[in-house]
Structure 1
Amino acid sequence: MTELHLIPVNTNVHSVHRPDGAHVGNLKRIGAVWKFKAVGYDAGGGVEPGGGPLTEQHNMVFDAPDAQVVSARLGCWL
């Protein structure tokens, strides 16, 4: 399993990174749930919301920003 790293941005957002440091998305608290928001980058380094290697998991819902749970559910897609 690929272990993902969650880095707190503020109380409602955690950035999600692969072990090599690549940013693949964010967990955002929306109401009472946390949603994964996929992020990709184009050849010029521009942000592609909803893109990247986890596009199909965009908007996946989580109960909390727990790195083990997020890794278990998203890590197999990397």
Structure 2
Amino acid sequence: MHIQKINEGVHALHDTAGLHVGNFKWINGQWKFKAIGYDPSGHVVPGGGPLTDRHNSTFLHLDASVIHAQFFQD
């Protein structure tokens, strides 16, 4: 799992295989997760993908260990 800063208000989340699975956006004083999936043609599916059940999860801080524990149950 990897969190990549895009800008001050957006960080991309990549799973353990490197697939882009969503973004964290700073909204109203908290980080909100926005899941992203891709259709067979490669088009973005907002709210889709492997973490669709985590769409709109919120965090006060982007703590990689907390996010990993909540999103990637091994």
Instruction: Within 5 Å, give how 1:16-27 maps onto structure 2.
Output: 16-27=13-24
TM-score when normalising by structure 1:
0.89
- Report how many aligned residue pairs link the two structures: 74
C-alpha distance in 1, partners of 2:42/2:52? 17
57, 62, 65: which one aligns with 1:65: 62
Q: Following TM superposition, by how much is the alpha carbon of 1:36 offset from its aligned partner in structure 2, in angstroms?
A: 0.6
Is 2:6 the counterpart of 1:9?
Answer: yes
**Counterpart residue identity of residue 32, structure 1:** G
Moved over 6 A (4+): none
Letter in 2 for 1:71: H
Q: CA deviation at 1:34?
A: 0.5
Unaligned runs of 5+ in 1: none
Secondary structure in 2 matching 1:69: helix
Pairwise CA RMSD of aligned residues?
1.2
Match of 2:72 among 43, 60, 75: 75
Q: 1:56 aligns with which of 47, 53, 56?
A: 53
Higher relative contact order structure (alpha carbons within 8 Å, sequence separation ≥ 6): 1
Q: Percent identity?
A: 49
